[in-house]
Structure 1
């Protein structure tokens, strides 16, 4: 089979009609191509800015079907994309004129409550995982919405409401079943392909197609939530109190400080609805009274709106689901410290958000089990105590430049306090330097060596790509 480079694209053109007919006839899954009634619906992704037209979408329900699809794509010289949840802001789960390995049919979730572990199909979403574990009072670190794909989330590192308590998602990764570029199916774990297993703790989809993942679960019968809102001019004071509160908060506390458009809900005063607001979301891995006790410094501020709830974790995951169909642009900056000057700049930049819209200007805390996690994994951003995350969603294409500039400026504001590292699932295409920053220079070199062993032709390059290392000199 011909090697496939990152620059090649879909140079081979669409597959030959006879080859495609043969593939469709023998393939166990579904095949969708341009002209099929389901084509536009099947190719749609979360970011409405992304409008790519693959030549073939192979809907795979087994690892064998994934391997068949990968082999077909390589034989036909097609660029190959892998789709799980379809949440990549850069739209990397679609290949223009290429082949999409669509994992959505591969979504079985099997919980082992006694062993406190779960096996998750490569196309499952966080919502499916959360609901499957809920009857047993178990959970693991997931994304902050239910529609995120488990595979891309975990392999990229994985940060969410529970990470200060249970660590990053990749810290809870026990094994991965992976289809490699040559169509082999391998299992990576501590005792099998340990080099690959290390790389899958943050290295993303560079090494193959994850058809199943095994994750550690933790007891979590209930979570508690407090959502408080203020007018935006209160932001600097609220942010200072929130910062000081988090510095000594127990690991059970998560959440974030968020500038957003206040929703039209019963708990929001009419004069705030549809306008920019400063909000604090406090999540707590435990009962409400404990939340109220530990979060008293924030709860004691003179907020204008409040919502309290004690609920299953799976319900929390659905509370802030991002609506599909919007144009998206996100970025992030990881901070070594958060002095008053950084707080002021962060809050001031909220004035440039598109309001009303689902956009959010977020300050996330880290620390806790994130900071104490394994240092050997390629996630150098785990040590930062704070994350600034401009998360833009809007409808009008005329606002594209404005929204992208806002995210860029939000990063620039806090750059003096940046660690330089970044969680790549939080950003789109921001250049090679940012990819290296996502892994760390030393880790990046080691990842390139692993890439050369498992994907020497860089078949899986539609991601935050790690080019395979070349032969050693001499």
Structure 2
């Protein structure tokens, strides 16, 4: 970007425009995944929707690459683009709750903790992810699943409306009655169709929940995962539990004698009477005696932020994902093999339930392509040391390649990595891809918004 173009943006926007010569540039270009090292020509920190409109017009007319950053939590670093412009929504962190209508309108730069804090004061919540530093924008546009999914569906299933700046710089509100084709595509289609400056969500009564963590030695993975795959899908919708392979961290509530040991685990959330959580989860003894089992009533916001400090911003990440509708014995053996060989103490595998309430939405009602999936899996190599980047990558790729034959073929778009091919994008959207490509042609025919897991516009 030449200096004249940079100056033009600086004079026409309320928010700051940060270039490589500015003191805050290096800090601004850092993202959650330290494995990402990109150098944009500029960051436009938008103060409001008008700033976003102006920024999109400037970038488009200058012929530059464009990326969009909400919470900056993108694993593959899609919120940055070398030598282009990042439209940064981070100043747009605000939440307005209507406790009577049970809705919340949320700024596009907000994080889950902003939404959770604002709604929790009214005893309300909407389904989101499990790490409170995650941005609401990327999570919602990719689908969004977490502790409340079995009870209340995916994040996007609770989206009522979205304010969007389109590729031509215009502003629209998309909902069931206005731009319904765009609204359909936004629910699962990622950041392909515009910059969402505000989301409006439906809220549900959630206050104190029953939280729980159960861990077994990793060599019990066959028994535990064999039990979990049968128990969880048949459990009441008030019971949520994601399965994990992990190394026990040196932190509460785990006893010191378990610190550093490889384990299989289930992390629980019970949205029924939290005083009954212990009785509801007494079944954890069935597959094998746990090495540790913990339950307690807990504010939902505390459960949402439980893992934040274990995996802070600035670590090396390499991840891939897949959807699963079953976990055959051969797949269990793969999980045991890689769980016993976690390459670093923070590397992990999670299987998140996406059944129950998420299955009650019709397959074609949203762009999400896997309403018949039961679990969304992620394989993640994680470590603070850049010297381990290749070790993380290789473990993750090998694990994914051995487990992929037991998958449904596609992945949750937010668990796709930085080197996914176009055939993987198609597999993620299944039969919805062509319809998404038609919507893309309508709203972004020149593919301005392509710094994402990209859906190419249908031919004209």
- For residues 248 and 207 of structure 2, the distance between their equivalents in structure 1, rounded to whole angstroms, comes to 30
- For residues 266 and 14 of structure 2, the distance between their equivalents in structure 1, rounded to whole angstroms, comes to 48
**1:426 matched to 2:415:** yes
Matches for 1:308-323 after TM superposition, within 5 Å: 308-321=295-308, 322-323=311-312
Do the aligned partners of 1:253 and 1:283 also contact (CA within 8 Å) in 2?
Answer: yes
Matches for 1:76-91 after TM superposition, within 5 Å: 76-91=62-77
TM-score scaled by length of structure 2: 0.95
Correspondence for 2:130: 144
- For residues 122 and 387 of structure 1, the distance between their equivalents in structure 2, rounded to whole angstroms, comes to 25
Correspondence for 2:95: 109
Do the aligned partners of 1:245 and 1:297 also contact (CA within 8 Å) in 2?
Answer: no
- For residues 289 and 432 of structure 1, the distance between their equivalents in structure 2, rounded to whole angstroms, comes to 48
Q: 1:385 aligns with which of 365, 374, 383?
A: 374
Matches for 1:149-164 after TM superposition, within 5 Å: 149-164=135-150
Question: For each residue in 1:45-90, what CA deviation from the matched residue of structure 2 results, as whole angstroms up to 9, or x when unmatched?
Answer: 0110111111111100211000111111122221111000111111
- For residues 87 and 262 of structure 1, the distance between their equivalents in structure 2, rounded to whole angstroms, comes to 24
TM-score scaled by length of structure 1: 0.93
Q: Secondary structure at the match of 1:192?
A: coil
* 1:352 Cα deviation after fit: 2.6
Correspondence for 1:336: 325
- For residues 207 and 317 of structure 2, the distance between their equivalents in structure 1, rounded to whole angstroms, comes to 34
Matches for 1:43-192 after TM superposition, within 5 Å: 43-192=29-178
Correspondence for 2:456: 467
Matches for 1:10-409 after TM superposition, within 5 Å: 14=1, 16-299=2-285, 301-321=288-308, 322-356=311-345, 358-376=346-364, 377-409=366-398
Moved over 4 A (4+): none
Gaps of 5+ in 1: 1-13
Number of paired residues? 455
Q: Secondary structure at the match of 1:119?
A: strand
Question: 263-272 or 30-39, which moves further after superposition?
Answer: 263-272
Q: Secondary structure at the match of 2:109?
A: coil
- For residues 312 and 240 of structure 2, the distance between their equivalents in structure 1, rounded to whole angstroms, comes to 22
**1:451 matched to 2:451:** no
Gaps of 5+ in 2: none
Q: Secondary structure at the match of 1:383?
A: coil
* 1:416 Cα deviation after fit: 3.2
* 1:299 Cα deviation after fit: 4.8
Do the aligned partners of 2:33 and 2:313 also contact (CA within 8 Å) in 1?
Answer: yes
